[in-house]
Amino acid sequence: MSRKWQNNRMARYGKILATTVLLAIAAVFTACQQQGGNSYLRTPRAVRFQPVSTPLVKRSLSRLAREVNIKVRIMPSNARQRRGSRRLNPRFITIHSTANHSPSSTAMQHSRALCRGAFTNRSWHFTVDQFMCVQNLPLRETGWHAGTPAGNHNSIGIEMCECENRGHNHFRTWDRAAKLTAVLMKRYGINLRRVVPHYHWTRKNCPAPLLTNGKPGPKWAWFHSRVDYYYRCINEGKSNR
Ligand SMILES: [Zn+2]
């Protein structure tokens, strides 16, 4: 067997191997796209969607609110979305997800964009990422996020960021949103059944990462169980469901 022939054969194997790897990557990527186009689906092992089994760590409402790390950046009072807003009747909490995977689409960046008027017909109360929560509207005022008058007039809107930058951790974002939701439930006496996905109002696939085939399923039940866990932490171990 000549060295030249061997080299040719190695080069051929190399090409076949490279093509196979590329096809495999493309297949995985396509599968992820088909399942919803989000890379969090590539890291499901990071989150086990099971009810919380850890013992309660009782704390006060204000202590849990501090853990949420709320910054206040209210939209300008003359912003288009705030004109004609009504008094909010907070009977529901509506959970959304931004579906924006750009690395810079953090809670603060979304809030800045909101304050600059980048989202012409939309507004919501809180934007959450893995590090902080930014309040964008006063809680006495309606936002434009639910897609129906009933949803807008009766619910507090929470947007969860899906930014994908170095070290991003969607679990921490969802956990922070669960803590915020528990704080708001306690403050306004809202029942867990009234913590709803955007889907509840318009059948939209939102918050997509916590829905299953576009509908509330095990992941949404998991989110509810986390909210309930934090609620019990600040309510003497008792649920409100
Ligand atoms: Zn939504």
Cα 238 from Cα 229, distance rounded (Å) = 9
pLDDT in the model for residue 37: 40
**pTM for the whole thing?**
0.80
How much distance in Å is there from the Cα of 123 to the middle of ligand 1?
A: 11
**Strand pairing partners for 144?**
123
How much distance in Å is there from the Cα of 136 to the middle of ligand 1?
A: 16
Q: At what angle do helices 170-188 and 218-233 cross, to 10 degrees?
A: 50
How much distance in Å is there from the Cα of 28 to the middle of ligand 1?
A: 27
The amino acid that residue 97 corresponds to is S
Cα 135 from Cα 228, distance rounded (Å) = 22
- DSSP letter string over 4-28? HHHHHHHHHHHHHHHHHHHHHHHHH
Let me know how long the chain is. 241
How much distance in Å is there from the Cα of 146 to the middle of ligand 1?
A: 7
Domains of the chain by residue range:
1-35, 49-233
How much distance in Å is there from the Cα of 92 to the middle of ligand 1?
A: 14
pLDDT in the model for residue 30: 31
114 three-class SS? helix
Q: Give average pLDDT by consecutive 10-residue segment, the chain, 241 residues.
A: 54 51 36 37 56 88 97 93 90 95 90 90 95 96 96 97 81 95 98 98 96 94 95 96 91
**Above pLDDT 70, what percent of the chain?**
80
Match 């889907």 to its residue by tokens: 199
Helix (H) or strand (E) holding 195: strand 195-197
How much distance in Å is there from the Cα of 203 to the middle of ligand 1?
A: 10
Cα 180 from Cα 136, distance rounded (Å) = 14
Cα 122 from Cα 143, distance rounded (Å) = 7
Q: Tokens standing for 111?
A: 């809030």
155 three-class SS? strand
Q: Report phi then psi at 58, rounded to 5.
A: -70, 140
Considering the four listed CATH numbers 3.40.50.410, 3.60.21.10, 3.40.50.1360, 3.40.80.10, the one that applies to the domain covering 49-233 is 3.40.80.10
Cα 229 from Cα 88, distance rounded (Å) = 27
pLDDT in the model for residue 85: 86
pLDDT in the model for residue 15: 56
Closest CA to 231 of 163, 178, 154: 178
How much distance in Å is there from the Cα of 49 to the middle of ligand 1?
A: 21
